[in-house]
């Protein structure tokens, strides 16, 4: 599969990047590691007239702890995130989520910003041109049907990012920069929940970094993922949890976020379900009813939707227990 033609630009500053896009007035895409964008271009699913590489722009890389926050540049690679002891020690869900992405060779080039801003996926859409020509174009391809939900009126393509749910459970915000200047947006608010256009960001907005409040000792996080081949695959459902315990192991706060459950990650409020009970006596059965109702799981990934719905509570419990065990360890130190 060959790449289509496009112009290529390597600005050195954010201002240069925006000026380049304005001057060329093209259909631009930003390039970070390219591990999501380039395959989509080869499949003819992304057809930008210009590529603006972010790799030479100063100040978009690195991990620092400052005034109670972990600050991570959007161009930081997953390998750098995985190697950071600040992240593995204090924000373990983020470390685990980065490690769950694809496979080690991908970690060397794939970036945090690119992971968050990756496109939604669907087995009826993420296919070669020849495969797609055999079927009527679906909504996402500019047509009027959905092959995944035959009487559906919208696109149910799935946001399969591993890292966004971890950041949502950790209360993170994204710093962004666009034609209108810089801003800060809660991670969950980046997502539109629309499979056709999954992000709320204005066109040509750059995610410059992520800001995460560093939790106190009593709160820790965990990530769990269902996939067919643990060596490479995208999530079929995944969950990130952040759990706070008091000195008697009673849950004082829990945040849960899910991915691969619809066109956007979903934040679930479990405070009424799990807070106030000891972690070793907590009853997780309510999750079986609560979680599927919050999702839009269809039959459009590698395993049936019915199975993915059943596995939601299993994966969520796994993430919560990982977080709670880590929080309990910190309590006893
Ligand atoms: C075999 C394979 C398996 C994979 N498995 C997984 C998986 O299990 N889990 C998972 O989450 N992902 C997976 N991916 C997808 C991808 O590798 C990761 O999401 C990766 O982190 C994307 O980062 P990148 O820097 O390569 O993004 P790119 O491909 O460079 O960019 C992705 C998108 O984000 C935009 N973008 C990039 N950086 C910014 C920025 N700073 N601001 C605004 N927009 C930006 C680009 O324009 C593009 O639209 C897989 C990919 C492959 C090829
Ligand atoms: S969910 Fe439906 S409309 Fe969306 S990509 Fe899949 S088949 Fe197309």
Report, as an integer, the average pLDDT of 114-124.
98
**For the chain, what is the domain count?**
2
Q: Are residues 285 and 314 in the same domain?
A: yes
Q: Are residues 48 and 98 in the same domain?
A: no
What number does the ligand 1 atom closest to the CA of 75 have?
A: 41
What number does the ligand 2 atom closest to the CA of 158 have?
A: 1
Binding-site residues, ligand 1, Cβ < 6 A:
29-37, 39, 54, 74, 78, 101-102, 106, 110-111, 113-115, 117-118, 160-162, 206-207, 232-234
Q: How far apart are CA 210 and CA 184, in angstroms?
A: 9
Which residue among 10, 36, 57 closes a domain?
57
Pick the range with the lowest mean pLDDT from 150-154, 270-274, 294-298: 270-274
**What tens digit of pLDDT does each residue of 17-58 get?**
999 999 888 799 999 999 999 999 999 999 999 999 999 999
Residue 145 domain-assigned (yes or no): no
pLDDT of residue 319: 98
Report, as an integer, the average pLDDT of 92-118.
98
Per-residue b or e along 98-132, where b marks 16 or more CB atoms closer than 10 Å to that residue's CB: bbbbbeeebbeebbbbbbbbbbbbbebbbeeeeeb
pLDDT of residue 333: 40
Pick the range with the lowest mean pLDDT from 79-83, 168-172, 268-272: 268-272
Percent of the chain with pLDDT over 70: 99
Q: How far apart are CA 290 and CA 293, in angstroms?
A: 6
Q: Are residues 104 and 225 in the same domain?
A: yes
For all residues of the chain together, what is the average pLDDT? Answer: 95
Task: Identify which of 271, 248, 222, 242 has the alpha carbon closest to the alpha carbon of residue 328.
Answer: 248
Q: Are residues 41 and 173 in the same domain?
A: no
Pick the range with the lowest mean pLDDT from 20-29, 112-121, 189-198: 20-29
Q: How far apart are CA 277 and CA 111, in angstroms?
A: 38
Percent of the chain with pLDDT over 90: 92
Residue 331 has pLDDT above 60, yes or no: no
Q: Are residues 172 and 40 in the same domain?
A: no
CA 70, 72, 78, 80 torsion-angle sign: negative
Residue 198 CA: distances (Å) to CA of 137, 225, 265 = 19, 21, 10
Give residue 155 CA to ligand 2 midpoint distance, Å. Answer: 5
pLDDT of residue 250: 95
With 0-12 / 13-18 / 19 or more C-beta atoms within 10 angstroms meaning exposed / middle / buried, residue 137 is middle
In the chain, % helix, strand, coil (3-state, to 5) comes to 30, 25, 45
Report, as an integer, the average pLDDT of 55-83.
97
Cα 13 from chain centroid (whole Å) = 26
Residue 16: which CATH number? Answer: 3.30.43.10
Q: Are residues 221 and 169 in the same domain?
A: yes
Report, as an integer, the average pLDDT of 59-64.
97
pLDDT of residue 332: 46
Tell me the pLDDT band of 230, cut-offs 50, 70 and 90.
confident
Residue 71: DSSP 8-state: E
Residue 188: which CATH number? Answer: 3.30.465.10
Report, as an integer, the average pLDDT of 293-305.
96
pLDDT of residue 181: 87
User: For a pocket test of ligand 1, which of 14, 102, 166, 185 has the largest count of ligand atoms closer than 8 A to its C-beta?
Assistant: 102
Determine which helix (DSSP H) or strand (DSSP E) holds 239, and give its type and residue range: strand 237-245
Pick the range with the lowest mean pLDDT from 34-38, 137-141, 288-292, 315-319: 288-292
Report, as an integer, the average pLDDT of 288-297.
94
User: For a pocket test of ligand 1, which of 55, 114, 175 has the largest count of ligand atoms closer than 8 A to its C-beta?
Assistant: 114
Residue 235: DSSP 8-state: P
Report, as an integer, the average pLDDT of 232-247.
96
- 158 C-beta closer than 6 A to ligand 2: no
């Amino acid at each position: 599969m060959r790449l289509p033609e496009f112009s290529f630009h390597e600005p050195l500053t954010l201002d240069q990047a925006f000026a380049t896009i304005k001057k060329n007035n093209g259909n631009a895409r930003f390039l970070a590691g390219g591990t999501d964008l380039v395959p989509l271009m080869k499949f003819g699913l992304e057809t930008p007239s210009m590529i603006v590489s972010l790799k030479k722009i100063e100040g978009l890389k690195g991990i620092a702890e400052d005034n109670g926050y972990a600050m991570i540049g959007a161009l930081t690679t997953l390998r750098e995130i995985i190697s950071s002891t600040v992240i593995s020690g204090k924000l373990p869900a983020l470390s685990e989520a980065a490690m769950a992405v694809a496979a080690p060779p991908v970690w060397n080039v794939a970036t945090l910003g690119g992971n968050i801003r990756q496109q939604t996926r669907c087995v009826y859409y993420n296919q070669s041109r020849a495969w797609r020509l055999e079927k009527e174009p679906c909504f996402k391809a500019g047509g009027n049907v959905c092959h995944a939900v035959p009487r559906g009126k919208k696109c149910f393509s799935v946001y399969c990012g591993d890292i966004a749910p971890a950041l949502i459970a950790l209360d993170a915000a994204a710093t962004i920069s666009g034609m209108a200047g810089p801003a800060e947006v809660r991670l969950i608010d980046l997502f539109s929940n629309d499979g056709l256009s999954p992000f709320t960001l204005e066109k040509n907005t750059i995610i410059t970094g992520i800001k995460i409040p560093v939790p106190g000792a009593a709160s820790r996080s965990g990530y769990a993922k269902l996939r067919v081949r643990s060596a490479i695959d995208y999530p079929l459902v995944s969950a990130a949890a952040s759990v706070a315990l008091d000195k008697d192991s009673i849950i004082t706060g829990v945040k849960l976020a899910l991915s691969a459950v619809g066109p956007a990650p979903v934040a679930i409020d479990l405070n009424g379900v799990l807070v106030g009970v000891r972690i070793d006596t907590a009853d997780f059965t309510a999750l079986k009813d609560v979680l599927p109702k919050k999702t839009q799981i269809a039959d459009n990934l590698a395993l049936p939707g019915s199975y993915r719905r059943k596995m939601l509570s299993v994966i969520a419990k796994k993430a919560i227990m990982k977080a709670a065990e880590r929080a309990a360890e910190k309590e006893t130190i």
